[in-house]
Chains A and B, each alone.
Chain A
Amino acid sequence: MFARTGKKRSFQLAGLLIPGTAWLWLFFNIPLLIVLFISFVERGRAGGIKIPPVFTLGSYQQFFDPLYLGIFGHSVRIGVVVTFICLLVSYPLAYFISRRDTRVRNTLILLVMIPFWTNFLVRTYALKQVLATEGLLNFALSSLGIIAQPLDLLFNETSVIIGLVYGYLPFAVLPMYASIEKFNFSLMEAAADLGASPARAFWRVMLPQTLPGVVAAFVLVFVPVVGAFITPDIMGGGKVEMIGTLINRQFGVARNWPFGAAISLILMLLVLIGVIAYFRSGEEGRRAL
Chain B
Amino acid sequence: MTTNAVEMLDIVKQFPNPAGGLVNAVDHVSFAVQDGEFFSMLGPSGCGKTTSLRMIAGFEYPTFGRILLHGKDIGQTPPYQRNVNTVFQQYALFPHMSVGQNVGFGLEMKGVEKLEIERRVGEALDMVRLSAMEKRKPSQLSGGQQQRVAVARALINRPEVLLLDEPLGALDLKLRKEMQLELKTLQREVGITFIYVTHDQEEAMTMSDRIMVMNHGKALQLGTPAEVYERPNSRFVADFIGETNFMEGRLKTPGGGAVVEVECAGGLGVHAVGGAGLPVGAPVTVAVRPERVAINRSFENVNCFAGTVLDLVYIGTDTYYNVRLDGGQVLRVREQNADPTQRTIAAVGDKVQVTLKAESAVVLVE
Which residues does A use to contact B, with CB under 8 Å? 184, 186-187, 189-198, 200-201, 204-205, 208-209, 288-289
In the bound complex, how far is the Cα of B57 from the Cα of A100, in angstroms? 24
B94 close to A187 (CB less than 8 A): yes
> Is B1 part of the contact surface with A, judged by Cβ < 8 Å?
no
Task: Kindly list chain A residues whose C-beta atoms are within 8 Å of the C-beta of B86.
Answer: 189-190, 193
Q: Which of A190, A195, A197 touches B94 (beta carbons < 8 Å)?
A: A190
From A193, which residue of chain B is reached at the shortest CB distance?
Answer: B86
- Chain A residues positioned under 8 Å from B90 (CB to CB): 186
Query: Residue B110 at the A interface, CB < 8 A?
Result: yes
What is the CB-to-nearest-CB distance from B265 to chain A, in angstroms, rounded to a whole number? 50
Query: B270 CB to closest chain A CB, in angstroms?
Result: 50
List, in ascending order, chain B residues with CB within 8 A of A189's CB: 57, 59, 79, 86, 88, 92
Cβ 8 A contact of B106, one of A187, A195, A205: A195
With A186-B88, A193-B86 known as contacts, the answer to whether A288 contacts B79 (CB < 8 A) is no
- Given A189-B79, A195-B157, do A205 and B94 touch, yes or no (CB 8 Å)? yes
9 more A-B residue pairs beyond the given contacts A189-B92, A288-B137, with a C-beta to C-beta distance below 8 A: A189-B86, A190-B88, A192-B59, A192-B78, A193-B154, A194-B109, A196-B80, A200-B109, A204-B105
Contacts of A194 in B (CB 8 A): 80, 85, 105-106, 109, 153-154, 157
Contact: B79 with A192, CB < 8 Å? yes
Q: Which of chain B's residues have a CB closer than 8 A to the CB of A184?
A: 92
The complex places the Cα of A78 from the Cα of B137 at a distance, in Å, of 39
B301 at the interface (CB under 8 A from A): no
Complex Cα distance A208/B97, Å? Answer: 10
Closest Cβ of chain B to A135, distance in Å, is: 44
User: Least Cβ distance of B108 to chain A in Å?
Assistant: 8
Give Cα distance in the complex from A189 to B88, angstroms.
9
Chain B contacts of A197 at CB under 8 A?
80
The verdict on A190 contacting B92 (CB below 8 Å), with A195-B80, A288-B137 known, is yes
B96 CB–A CB distance under 8 Å:
yes
Q: Sorted from nearest, which 9 A-B pairs have the closest CB atoms? A: A195-B109, A194-B106, A190-B92, A288-B96, A192-B79, A186-B92, A193-B86, A192-B80, A208-B96
A121 to B50, CA, bound (A): 55
CA distance A57 to B118 in the complex (A): 58
A289 cross-chain contacts in B, Cβ below 8 A: 95-96, 139
Cross-chain contact A187 with B80 (CB below 8 angstroms): no
**What distance in Å separates the Cβ of B197 from its nearest Cβ neighbour in chain A?**
15
State which residues 11-63 of B face A: CB under 8 Å: 57-59
Contacts of A288 in B (CB 8 A): 95-96, 137
Q: What string of 1s and 0s marks CB contacts (under 8 Å) between B137-152 and chain A? A: 1010000000000000
Contacts of B106 in A (CB 8 A): 194-195
B94–A193 touching, CB < 8 Å:
no
User: In the complex, what's the smallest C-beta–C-beta distance from A186 to chain B, in angstroms?
Assistant: 5
A193 to B93, CA, bound (A): 12
Alpha-carbon distance between A200 and B157 when the two chains are bound, in angstroms? 18
Q: Would you call A193 and B85 a contact (CB within 8 A)?
A: yes
CA distance A191 to B90 in the complex (A): 14
Q: How far is the CA of A194 from the CA of B82 in the complex (A)?
A: 9
For B84, list chain A residues within 8 Å (CB).
193
Task: Establish whether residues A191 and B105, one from each chain, have CB atoms under 8 Å apart when the complex forms.
Answer: yes
A192 and B90 CA atoms in complex are apart in Å by 16
B95 with A209: CB separation less than 8 A: yes
B164 to chain A, nearest CB (A): 12
- Distance of A101 from chain B, by nearest CB (Å): 10
Give the docked Cα–Cα distance between A201 and B85 (Å): 15
Q: Please, how many angstroms separate the alpha-carbon atoms of A225 and B85 in the complex?
A: 47
Q: Which B residues touch A208, using CB under 8 A? A: 96
Residues in chain B near residue A209, CB distance under 8 A: 95-96
* Contact sample, A vs B, 23 pairs, CB 8 Å cutoff: A186-B88, A187-B94, A189-B79, A189-B88, A190-B86, A190-B94, A191-B80, A192-B79, A193-B59, A193-B79, A193-B85, A193-B154, A194-B153, A194-B154, A194-B157, A195-B81, A195-B106, A196-B105, A196-B109, A198-B80, A209-B95, A288-B95, A288-B96
